[in-house]
Amino acid sequence: MELLRNLLRNSLSKPVTRLYPFEAREPFAGNRGMLEMNPENCSFCGVCAKRCPTNAITVIRKPTKTWSFQPHQCIVCGYCIEVCPKDSITMNKNHRGPTF
């Protein structure tokens, strides 16, 4: 009897879950999100790489002016965003993965 009651209640009510790709959830307050970098603004000073606690960011200033980012090492602490003098690193509230 309990099983039948549960079956009827679940079949006649609205589903608890969302259809994810079609119904995206709004980010929570205080959500960190993901990092985004604008390489046009970057001066390759390396301050973000020095401040990163997991060494997820590597900046090579001379001779090529390149940077690399290891997304699986990043803990999204936001220290790199705080110390960037050119504001070339920002935080996006969506969780689609890093865009470096």
Residue 67 token pair: 């940077």
- 27-86 tens-digit pLDDT: 777 777 788 888 888 888 999 999 999 999 999 988 888 888 888 898 888 899 999 999
Amino acid at 13: S
pLDDT of 57:
92
pLDDT of 71:
84
pLDDT of 51:
93
Q: What's the CA gap between 62 and 92, in Å, rounded?
A: 30
Q: Which domains does the chain have, with CATH numbers?
A: 30-92 (3.30.70.20)
pLDDT > 70? residue 99 = no
pLDDT of 67:
87
The answer to whether the CB of 34 falls within 8 A of the CB of 96 is yes
